[in-house]
Amino acid sequence: MTDVPLCDPTGIPRSTDVRLERNADISSRCGEEDPELTDDSAERTNDITAPTLSRRAEAAADVLRDGGAASGRPVAVVTSSAAAIAILAYAAPLLPAPLFPIDPNLPKDAIADLLGQAGVDLVVSDAPVAGRAYVPVADILACLAGAEVPWRPPEGIALLIATSGSSGRPKAVMLTGAALVAAAKASEAATALGSGDVWLACLPLFHIGGFSILTRCALAGATALIHERFEAERVSSALGAGRVTHLSLVPAMLSRLCDLGAPPAALKHVLVGGAALSSELAERAADLGWPVQPTYGMSETASQIATLKTLPRPWSVGNVGPPLPGAEVALDPDGRLKVRGPMLMAGYANPDLLPGEGLEDGWFVTADLAEIVPEGLTILGRADDVIVSAGKKLLPAMVEGLVAACPGVDAVAIAGRPDPVWGELVVVIYKGTATPGAVLSWCRENVASAMRPRAALKVDLLPELANGKPDRSALKRLAADVETEAGAAGKD
């Protein structure tokens, strides 16, 4: 297999392959694949390797220029096509221009808000966006001609990426090329990624957890095998081929894969983040042989800033290990985690792409409560998710970890419901076979009174954001309508 050489800003040559899973719809618009590079081991999967991708990048850059892209101005891509985002990750630096992948499933007003935050004029999407120049995604996927090019992060702002919006309005984050490189190099300390490794990417590339796989592989000389979406059976099939060494998941994905059994011996690193990992799921995965590494990061830090190299047994919920090289951490007076380091964002986006907004004297103050101990970081939960009941502050993740052990509960989330006497009452919202009454009865026997849920709601699916995090706003709305213990809600 031929590799395309890549160079990082230090001038050290690297090489990588980018292998894109393609379904029939995409392949019909992308032209021929090299039969020697077809992945026969993965069901319905063909590959686009780095040389092919880089040729398309040059042609895609020409398409962007013809569409009105200007040097230094952000190009947004609003699509679920991982193939298009991967091509543009190579094409945008050729302009050079920051790339801004956006979740197409966001409400139209949220997408318009993000475009306005960054002053975007040109949008690559499946349909025109009012008031902005437009390049169809199909035109990017159809690109074929051009010379092979390396991936080089542009100077200045290289990537704009939206936050999850877990606490409200999604914000556009500005990341420099230097920040992307620093984050990728820091990640190597926990993942030992190198030439010959294969990182399967099944997270959306419009979230930092997915996009950062591209930069890590580019700088380490590894292969990025990109799936258009997460399907447990297809991921399991790809793992079964015995070439994948690295994998990034949210807890719900890990649970699905555990249902399918043990991993192959070739898989060495499984980063799990994006949402709280329960001790039950962590222990179950470890018992099956999954090399789970709880990790912590966010868009504002170009992905992970702390990761456990190995999972200790037993593992304490929220333990994500020591900060990665270059990342500094501290706590503010309220117990919120602060982060500083070369992987930090330049700031939240503005139409002039000027740095600084959202930082305090070079620090980013997160919304997460944490403890710093000699062994590393323990993430306690989001400060704005705290439930205040009878004057006591409760973190949903702490209660969720307890209730997850209840028989018949497969997945659980905790929310507060306003109450004139207690301030807030704890409500458990769950998926599983247990009845709401049975869950509350178990809680009376196993959860301390101060933390005990007073109402339960059984649902078919827990509300989640696109990146797998709990949708806390939706959970609070559900909790508001649930009756207390005497009238536990849900389906029996």
Least confident of 50-59, 131-140, 329-338, 436-445: 50-59
**Percentage helix, strand, coil, to 5, in the chain?**
30, 25, 40
Residues 243-256 have pLDDT tens digits of 999 999 999 899 99
Mean of pLDDT over the chain: 84
Greater model confidence, 149 or 393: 393
Residue 177 pLDDT: 93
405/351 same-domain check? no
**Residue 127 scores a pLDDT above 70:** yes
Predicted confidence band of residue 141 (pLDDT cuts 50, 70, 90): confident
Whether the bond into 5 is cis, omega within 30 of 0: no
- Radius of gyration, alpha carbons of the chain: 23
pTM over 0.85, yes/no: no
- Confidence band of 360 (pLDDT split at 50, 70, 90): very high
- Nearest residue to 266 via CA among 240, 284, 248, 231: 240
Tell me how many domains the chain contains. 2
Q: Which long-range contacts (CB under 8 A, 24 or more apart) does 364-369 make?
A: 364/300, 364/301, 364/338, 364/339, 364/340, 365/332, 365/336, 365/337, 365/338, 366/298, 366/300, 366/336, 366/337, 366/338, 366/339, 367/167, 367/336, 368/336, 368/337, 369/335, 369/336, 369/337, 369/395
What pLDDT sits at residue 15?
43
Looking up residue 451, the CATH number of its domain turns out to be: 3.30.300.30
What phi and psi, each to the nearest 5 degrees, are found at residue 436? -55, -40
Averaged pLDDT for residues 195-212: 94
Identify whether 310 is part of a domain.
yes
Task: Check residues 22 and 344 and name the one with the higher pLDDT.
Answer: 344
Question: For residue 169, how many other CB atoms are within 10 A of its CB?
Answer: 10
Note whether 373 and 240 are same-domain residues: yes
| Boundary of a domain, candidates 379, 396, 427 | 379
pLDDT higher than threshold 70 for residue 406: yes
Please check whether residues 351 and 467 belong to one and the same domain. Answer: no
Going from the C-alpha of 464 to that of each of 86, 194, 285, 344, 411, the distances in angstroms are 25, 33, 22, 26, 12
Task: Using DSSP, state whether 1 is helix, strand or coil.
Answer: coil
State which residues form the domain around 443.
Answer: 386-487
